[in-house]
Amino acid sequence: MAEARERTIDYFELWQEKMFLGEEFLTWLWLCSEIDSGFAADGGPKVEIWFENSLKLQSGQGPSKRSVTCQNAGKENGTEWPEAFTAVMKNKKVMNGRLRIKSEEREWSLALPADTLCPKSAKLMAGAEFKDDEDGKLSKVGALLDRVVYYTELTGTIEALLSMFLKLRLSPEWASEELPRLRAWVARWTREEG
């Protein structure tokens, strides 16, 4: 048991060391959701993402940590997130956001923190098909198993998006194409806002 515990702690240290991956992923996801019409990971179904009410962005760690929470400003000025673009220009990254994920007939609303990418308050907004048992009622075990299927789909979708990001992040195209593309978009909205 002690050995298992030590090995778990090994992963904890690795997690701390690579904490920036989740922050980069959520920032990339938000920027791409603003620029592109959707995501298609490894030939899978098209996934649409949009961020809802607020975004929390942060730079630095420990005592030098600076964070800002930006509200959705509506599309009146061309972007819903003028403050968030300014924060990204100042090297802040998305730490948490409430978003919608639409994949095929399913649509989810959830909060996604950058450190774990574990869904919080995840609700299925559309696409649920609850199966009744012989009495015309959904049995409690049936309800649980249905939801396990839905949550498996949700975590699988997040995992596919993360995989897509990591492959890009670890390729030469990240520095030569993707990062300049995203920076140009951030600069555009920051200038227009400024």
Q: Which residue, 74 or 170, has its beta carbon nearer to another protein?
A: 170
Q: Identify whether the C-beta of residue 71 lies closer than 8 Å to the C-beta of residue 77.
A: no
Is 153 a binding residue for another protein by CB under 8 A? The answer is: no
Picking from 193, 185, 182, 188, the residue whose alpha carbon sits closest to that of residue 24 is: 182
Secondary structure (DSSP) of 39-108: EE-TT--EEEEEEEEEEEEEESSGGG-EEEEEE---STTS-S-HHHHHHHHTT-EEEEEEEEEEETTEEE
Q: Please report whether residue 15 would count as binding another protein according to CB under 8 A.
A: yes
* CA 147 to chain centroid: 21
Amino acid letter, residue 155: T
Q: Which is nearer to another protein, 80 or 112 (CB)?
A: 112
Give the shortest CB-145-to-another protein separation in angstroms.
6
Is residue 169 close enough to count as binding another protein by CB under 8 A? yes
CB of 46 to another protein, least distance (A): 19
- Can you tell me which of 54, 72, 83, 179 binds another protein, judged by CB under 8 A? 179
Residues 34, 41 contacting (CB under 8 angstroms): no
Site string for another protein, 20-49 (x = CB under 8 A): xxxxxx-xx--x------------------
Environment class of 112 (CB within 10 Å of its CB; exposed 0-12, middle 13-18, buried 19+): buried
Q: Radius of gyration (Cα) for the chain, nearest Å? A: 19
Binding flag, residue 68, another protein (CB under 8 A): no
Q: How far is the CB of 101 from another protein (least distance, A)?
A: 14
Using CB under 8 A as the criterion, which residues of the chain lie in contact with another protein when the complex forms? 1, 3-5, 7-8, 11-12, 14-15, 17-18, 20-25, 27-28, 31, 88-91, 93, 110, 113, 115-123, 140-141, 143-145, 147-148, 151-152, 155, 159, 162-163, 166-167, 169-170, 174, 179, 182-184, 186-187, 190
